Structure 1
Amino acid sequence: MGIHTIARRPSGVRRNLTAYGFMSGALFCFAIFAWYPMVRELILSFQQTNLVDPPTWVGLENFQTVVEDPAFGQAWMNTIAFTLLALLCGYAVPFVIALVLNELRHARAYLRFVVYLPVMLPPIVAVLLFRWFYDPGPGLFNQVLDFFGLPPLAWLDSSSTALVSLVIVSTWMNLGSGVLIYLAALQTIPGELYEAAELDGAGMFKRIRHVTIPQTRLILLLMLMLQIVATMQVFIEPFMLTGGGPENATVTVAYLMYQYAFTYGGNYGAGGALGMMLMVVLLAFAAVQLRLTRSNDV
């Protein structure tokens, strides 16, 4: 018996080496494209450099520069407002659409494709498409308002509508991913639970409240965390559609980082300091939510 065990060991080692070999490729990609940039950003936040001359250590001077910037508070307020508005649309709407698609018996595959189609478009293409939609002249949205006899809106040119307009773009671009994830979670719910609820006289809303939501709670919490982390890093929409305007109404933290690094004379240190602040906030939020999720599981 011992001889057979010894004979089987080399094959087990080879299998583990193969697994480690495949895993090392993923770890290498993470190290190059994820971990190294974070470490590099941390170092830059304490340096003054233009990426050409040798850097000089300046301590917390970059953080002080960022905090004293008048746009600092506005950027955080805009980012938080964008995140909250995106939660109302981009978090709840996909779940409702998934509930509807899950109940359909015909054309389900086609509707899934239609819902997921915006995700397959490059983000720049989607943003440029909405730039035409928002055009104050021949834009589609104002044409629709005119058809119903309503006055046109300055979608991107008014501080009262610009941020909401960006939320609409972001929601449309990312709708399909959320819908498919929710659909996958809904299809794992045993049908017997719904049958038992129907026998107890539960209507549609009670079944959703007492069966669907409890059974998908972990997915809902995970999607909530991913939604907040993604929306607080919003950059493409304000960069391509509004340039942070009008009157800094759409300047976000990520866009302000870009301005420090590539607009304000290449102040990479200040951009890195602002990026570290954003990362700390997101890490704190993720840690709190994971702790609450773990405590609920227990």
Structure 2
Amino acid sequence: MTGHPLAAAAFLAPMLVVFGYFSWLPIVQSAILSMQQTNLVDSAQWVGWQNFRNLFDDPLLWTALRNTGLFVCLALVFGFPAPLFLAVVMSTLRRFGGLFRVLVYLPVAVPPVVAVLLWKWFYDPDHGLFNQILGLVGLGPYPWLQSTRWAMPSLVLEATWAALGGTVLIYLAALASVPRELYEAAETDGASIWRRVWHITLPQLRGVLLLMLLLQVIGTFQVFTEPFVLTDGGPEDATVTVLLLIYRYAFIYGDYGLAAALSVLLALVLGLLSAIYLRATRRWSDG
């Protein structure tokens, strides 16, 4: 017996109102704010598309876009396969599997700012842990965060470590759903572990892999904590990202209209990339 449609609508109404108020209303307000020149203290002045024109005239925007693109690429190259590799290895462990799961997930339990500050000490050029370890084998010291060459890879390394645990657990849960008979048959046929991963694990996890890839691209495009705490965008603006630039526009320069314009632009780019990605991978995901 089905309920009346009006009863269902009344039941969902409070949730829809709350969701719309906290999710869609800020988006609409940001779009309106992007057309205004305001510091949120004096009365706002309607300027239309002028904020977007000013945005594209700012050379720091292109620096931030280039740095963010570099961060995304490095995070995908190193951060995307690492949790999958760990999950595959951990799924084959017969002993101490629970202990390894706790150790891998531990970074997620550490507050992000605390973790970043800890890594800032690791990267200290004089007394940091990394240079001390490398010094034992005659290497370094390296100016991790003070060098335009090493600063961005250093941020990627910390961000990969911080996000590793949750992604590994997702892959472990997905691996548990793969029929064990497939691995047993492949092992009987003499397939190596890498052939089993390539011909069984990856095809069975393709839907999860595609979703995690999209989420990682969206997440890395919005990187903020690492450049803000570790380098503050330096050295020489080598780690200024889009979100850090939004923060500067709003809270350093006091131009909230310009910050909103860049926020809207970022949201549109991520939405477009997501739509193209989902459309391009739909057939492979359903295959």
TM-score by length of 2: 0.94
Q: Measure how far apart 1:196 and its partner are.
A: 2.0
1:174-223 CA deviation, whole Å, 9 max, x = no partner? 10011000001111000111122223332111111110000000000000
Separation in 2, partners of 1:125, 1:188: 35
Q: Percent identity?
A: 51
- Say whether residues 1:42 and 2:31 are aligned partners: yes
**Change beyond 3 A, Cα 1:193–1:25:** farther
Question: Taking structure 1 as reference, are residues 24 and 70 closer, same or farther at Cα in structure 2, changes over 3 Å only?
Answer: same
Look up the SS of the partner of 2:80 in the other structure.
helix
Deviates more, 1:149-158 or 1:25-34: 25-34
Inter-partner Cα distance in structure 2 for 1:224 and 1:93: 13
1:278 aligns with 2:270: no
Distance between the aligned counterparts of 1:173 and 1:152, measured in 2? 24
> After the TM superposition, which segments of 4 or more aligned residues of structure 1 sit over 3 Å from their partners?
23-30
Backbone CA RMSD of aligned residues: 1.8
Q: Distance in 2 between matches of 1:148 and 1:25?
A: 63
Q: Over alpha carbons, which structure has the higher Rg? A: 1
Determine the structure 1 residue equivalent to 2:224. Answer: 235
Structure 1 stretch displaced more, 192-201 or 93-102: 192-201
Per the TM alignment, residue 139 of structure 1 is displaced from its structure 2 partner at its CA by 0.7
SS across alignment from 2:143:
coil
Number of the residue aligned with 2:50: 61
1:121 to 110, 120, 125: 110
Shift of 1:279: 0.9
Offset at residue 89 of structure 1 (A)? 1.9
CA distance 1:98–1:34, change in 2 (3 Å): same
Match of residue 245 from structure 2: 256
Q: Alignment partner of 1:106: what SS?
A: coil
- After superposition, give the CA deviation of every residue in 1:142-166 in whole Å (9 maximum; x if it has no partner): 1111111112011111100000111
Structure 2 alignment gaps of length 5 or more: none
1:217-232 alignment runs, 5 A limit: 217-232=206-221
Aligned: 1:103 with 2:74: no
Change in 2 beyond 3 A, CA 1:293/1:126: same
Counterpart in 2 of 1:169? Answer: 158
1:5 aligned partner: none
Q: Which residue of 1 aligns with 2:199?
A: 210
Matching residue's letter, 1:281: V
Q: Which secondary structure does the structure 2 equivalent of 1:105 belong to? A: coil
Would you say 1:268 and 2:256 are equivalent positions?
A: yes
Q: Which amino acid aligns with 1:202?
A: A
Deviation (angstroms), 1:41? 1.2
Tell me, what secondary structure is at the counterpart of 2:171?
Answer: helix
Give the aligned length.
285
Instruction: From the superposition, tell whether residues 109 and 25 of structure 1 become closer, same or farther in structure 2 (CA, over 3 Å).
Output: farther
Instruction: Look up the match of 2:177.
Output: 188
Q: For structure 1, which runs of at least 5 residues remain unmatched after alignment? A: 1-7
